[in-house]
Amino acid sequence: MSAFLPHGRHLLVDLHGIAAVRLTDTAAIEALLREAARVAGSTPVGGHFHTFGPGLGVTGVLLLQESHISIHTWPEHGFAALDVFMCGSARAERAVAHIEAALKPGETRRIEARRGLDPAAVLAR
């Protein structure tokens, strides 16, 4: 990476109680992550999405200039594990909110980590 300082927010979000039908459509999940990236002000540079079979889960990632969004779904448990890592001015929390609004979980648990170098130290170099 070089477009942004090596500093960002990494949100790990467990989404529980989602209707299974929202967790099995690979194309819809990819479209959702792409729209979430757009809403957050980030720029995709590639990605990969994989289905485990009809009616089964989806696993996918969208790589961004600003880092990534990944999701792994378990429709049989109504569960999705999302992580959103964004550097620069992109707004990770907006991506999370967009995905939550679409998947409509009954419960959300979130962990936030600060990643990378102290921006003040980097800028002072």
Which sequence positions are flagged as catalytic? 67, 72, 87
Segment interacting with a copy of itself, rule: CB under 8 A, options 12-20, 32-40, 88-96, 97-105: 12-20
Helix (H, G, I), strand (E, B) or coil at 58: strand
Nearer to a copy of itself by Cβ, of 22 and 57: the residue is 57
Q: How far apart are CA 106 and CA 22, in angstroms?
A: 13
Q: How far apart are CA 37 and CA 53, in angstroms?
A: 26
Nearer to a copy of itself by Cβ, of 21 and 56: the residue is 56
Give the pairing of strands 7-16 and 107-116: antiparallel
Q: Which of 94, 95, 36, 44 is nearest to 65 (CA)?
A: 44
Site for a copy of itself in 60-99 (CB under 8 A): 60-61, 63-64, 67-68, 70, 72-74, 76-77, 79, 81, 83, 85, 87
Nearer to a copy of itself by Cβ, of 24 and 98: the residue is 24
CB of 56 to a copy of itself, least distance (A): 4
Letters for 40-59 (x = contact with a copy of itself by CB under 8 A, - = none) are -----xxxx-x-xx--xxxx
By the 10 Å C-beta count (0-12 exposed, 13-18 middle, 19+ buried), 96 is classed as buried
